[in-house]
């Protein structure tokens, strides 16, 4: 099974290094889970979430959108 980072180009030193690093940063940002201080901040930044989309809200934890609402994952200690 491939890892999420397979297929990402490794930047090489040369005239296109800056563009390669910018592309890599955009690709990493696309797979990262965004972090928010509050639910209101999350809702403002993600006004139209899609099913399966994730977001981390400080002090509340990881939430996943089920297509209708954000649901927080339950953690067991």
CATH code, domain with 66: 3.40.1620
Reported as a pLDDT band with limits 50, 70 and 90, residue 25 is: confident
Burial 24-58 (b: 16+ CB within 10 A, else e): eeeeeeeeeeeebeeeeebeeeeeebeeebebebe
Q: Are residues 59 and 43 in the same domain?
A: yes
CA distance 69 to 65: 6
Residue 63 · residue 54 · CB < 8 Å: yes
How many separate domains does the chain show?
2
Please determine, for residue 31, whether its predicted confidence score (pLDDT) is greater than 60. Answer: yes
Structural domain including 73 reads 33-77
pLDDT band at 26 (very low <50, low <70, confident <90, very high): confident
Two tokens, residue 34: 């965004």
Residues 61-68: what's their mean pLDDT? 93
Shared-domain flag, residues 65 and 49: yes
Q: ∠ CA(36), CA(6), CA(12), 5° rounding?
A: 95
User: 41 and 27 in one domain?
Assistant: no
Percent of the chain with pLDDT over 90: 48
pTM of the model: 0.63
């Amino acid at each position: 099974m491939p890892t999420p980072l397979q297929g990402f180009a490794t930047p090489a030193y040369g005239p296109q290094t800056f563009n390669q690093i910018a592309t890599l940063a955009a690709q990493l940002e696309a797979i990262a889970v965004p972090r928010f201080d509050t639910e209101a901040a999350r809702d403002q930044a993600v006004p139209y979430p899609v099913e399966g989309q994730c977001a981390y809200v400080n002090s509340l934890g990881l939430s996943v959108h089920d297509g209708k609402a954000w649901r927080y994952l339950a953690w067991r200690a």
